[in-house]
Structure 1
Amino acid sequence: MAASKTTTPPPVEPAKCPTCKGSGEISRAVHVGRKRRPVGQQTGICLTCLGSGEATD
């Protein structure tokens, strides 16, 4: 009996988060004062994937 070759499938890469594009971080505008004028940007973790960069189903 000949042994049949079994090949393992290549590892499947998880899908990237559509909100942060796989980086795990997202930028938000920072506003200050009563008139809420924008002063810059601040980065934080993506709340969709919680910083992992992988899409969740």
Structure 2
Amino acid sequence: MKSLKSLINDRLMISIRQFSHDIGVSRQTVYNIMADKRTPTVLTVKKVCAYFGEDYKDYI
């Protein structure tokens, strides 16, 4: 299983505000992923992976 946090850290080239708007989740959700506070929902994982063109099954 790969880390969603590392995917965002490695590939994000825009602000977190713009990223959260583009994928349709709240900024707090992105901050929680970055801080490893909670396990993201499957829908959130799908949205993040779709944005980066990754297969979401590797991140669940």
Structure with higher Rg: it is 1
**Greater relative CO (CA pairs within 8 A, separation 6+):** 2
TM-score bracket, shorter-length normalisation: under 0.3
